[in-house]
Amino acid sequence: MRVKVTLAAANCMFVGAALAQTSVGQGPVSGSSVTLFGIADVAVAYGTGSAAHKTQLVSGANSPSRLGFRGTEDLGGGLGANFWLEAGYNADDGTGVAGNRNNTPAGATSGDVISFNRRATVSLIDLWGELRLGRDFTAPYRNREQVDPFGTNGVGASQANVGTLAGPTATRASNMIGYFLPPGLGGFFGEVQYFMGENISNSATPDDGDGYAARIGYGIGAFGVAIASGSTKFARTSSTGNINVLNIGAFYDFGILKLSGGYYRDKVESIVPVTGTGYLVGGTVPVGVDQVRVSYSTYGTDEAGGPRSRKFAIGYVYTFSKRTVAYVTYAHLANSGGASAALNGSLTAPDRSSNGCDFGLRHSF
């Protein structure tokens, strides 16, 4: 929704009286515009494992529920500024979704709290690209999200996303300085990111939560490919240490089928290092305005036994309109090597399987 802006003169006496005695220096300015946007996505989710099953109403099984405010200002001469504030919420109960202040486990915020956990950025954009400051996706996450037919959401989400060892910055990072290449480079795109844990220099762990990431890719017409890498620093202990991420994703749209795939490697430099690897092969088939989604994904680590989970997911998205869809997703997950991943909140014993189903409604605004 782009709301149209007018600064009406009516009632200004009252506004003026109020402003005159407050310290708000920066009021709204004529010519500004704000876009209010969001998604409300609710599904009935059922999961079953060898030990216990669960039925829930869940939020965001097709696309995470959110409410956002964003806007752009044309500064002339090819220069622009924008802001983007996006809050996640649970459409099944109205509560918030956890964010993170400093890219470490200790910086996680309460899951009840609505904050701009999904994105809080201000940008300067010119012909040379975009400088973006604040909280945003980390670059390697985009390769997990963009090649997954289920967009890393719901019971069908890529197991390489669900099982990732990539830690507190797996999806987003706070205190980030990012730079994006401009569009119009013949299909090439790219970004670099530096983010800060904001520790004082005499801290016991002065670098925890500091990190960097980059992604470069090529996309033209029906084809796209991108490679991304990043590293976040954590003091080495038996359970954690620097986390290094490398992945690659690609897709080709044949028209009757959009085929996508990705390979993922996450390494945790704990005292005994652990490496997780996974891949995904996915397909999206248009059925008129509707869509069939299929994916096979796997993720496992080199820990004792070689625990690994493999997921097969299939879904159908029924399109009421561009803004409103209904969807159903079924997933089957198999564990080996001692893994015990389970779907939709169910519980399964090591090496046993789990099944899950989402049936939901998504409305965008």
Distance CA 144, CA 161 (A): 6
Token pair 């530096």: residue: 194
Residues 223-252 touching its own copies, rule: CB under 8 A, are none
Number of residues that bind its own copies (CB under 8 A): 130
Question: In this structure, how many other beta carbons lie within 10 angstroms of the beta carbon of residue 256?
Answer: 7
Closest C-alpha among 77, 142, 156 to residue 314: 156
Residues 187-206 touching its own copies, rule: CB under 8 A, are 189, 191, 196, 198-202
Handedness of CA 285, 291, 294, 299 (dihedral sign): positive
Residues 64-83 touching its own copies, rule: CB under 8 A, are 67, 69-75, 79-83
> Which one of 60, 137, 208, 358 is in contact with its own copies (CB under 8 A)?
137
> Which one of 60, 104, 117, 353 is in contact with its own copies (CB under 8 A)?
117
Using rule CB under 8 A, residue 121 touches its own copies: yes
Residues with Cβ < 8 Å from 263, sequence gap 6 or more? 247, 248, 249, 277, 278, 279
Q: Is 144 helix (H, G, I), strand (E, B) or coil?
A: helix
**Cβ closer to its own copies: 335 or 346?**
346
Residues 88-107 touching its own copies, rule: CB under 8 A, are 89-96, 99-102
DSSP character string of 206-266: TTTT-EEEEEEEEEETTEEEEEEEEEE-----SS---EEEEEEEEEEE-SS-EEEEEEEEE
Distance CA 162, CA 148 (A): 12
**Cβ closer to its own copies: 197 or 300?**
197
Using rule CB under 8 A, residue 255 touches its own copies: no
Distance CA 304, CA 350 (A): 13
Is 282:149 a contact under the CB 8 Å cutoff? Answer: yes
> Which one of 146, 164, 240, 242 is in contact with its own copies (CB under 8 A)?
146
76: left (phi over 0), alpha (psi -120 to 50) or beta: left
Lay out the site mask for its own copies across 19-48 (x = CB under 8 A, - = otherwise). -xxxx-xxxxx--xxxxxxxxxxx-x----
Question: In this structure, how many other beta carbons lie within 10 angstroms of the beta carbon of residue 75?
Answer: 12
Tell me the residue type at 128: W
Using rule CB under 8 A, residue 84 touches its own copies: yes
Choose the stretch contacting its own copies; rule: CB under 8 A; options: 62-70, 231-239, 250-258, 299-307.
62-70
**Cβ closer to its own copies: 137 or 330?**
137
Q: How far is the CB of 79 from its own copies (least distance, A)?
A: 7
Using rule CB under 8 A, residue 272 touches its own copies: no
> Which one of 128, 138, 140, 151 is in contact with its own copies (CB under 8 A)?
151
Question: In this structure, how many other beta carbons lie within 10 angstroms of the beta carbon of residue 137?
Answer: 20
Closest C-alpha among 213, 225, 249, 245 to residue 138: 213
Q: How far is the CB of 315 from its own copies (least distance, A)?
A: 15
Q: How far is the CB of 97 from its own copies (least distance, A)?
A: 10
> Which one of 60, 104, 135, 280 is in contact with its own copies (CB under 8 A)?
135
Q: How far is the CB of 248 from its own copies (least distance, A)?
A: 16
> Which one of 60, 61, 116, 249 is in contact with its own copies (CB under 8 A)?
116
The values of phi and psi at residue 322, to 5°, are: -60, -30
> Which one of 114, 292, 294, 328 is in contact with its own copies (CB under 8 A)?
114
> Which one of 183, 187, 273, 306 is in contact with its own copies (CB under 8 A)?
183
Choose the stretch contacting its own copies; rule: CB under 8 A; options: 63-71, 236-244, 255-263, 329-337.
63-71
Residues 283-342 touching its own copies, rule: CB under 8 A, are 320-324, 326
Is 64:86 a contact under the CB 8 Å cutoff? Answer: no
Using rule CB under 8 A, residue 362 touches its own copies: yes
Distance CA 257, CA 146 (A): 16
Q: How far is the CB of 336 from its own copies (least distance, A)?
A: 23
Distance CA 184, CA 5 (A): 30
> Which one of 138, 159, 174, 284 is in contact with its own copies (CB under 8 A)?
174
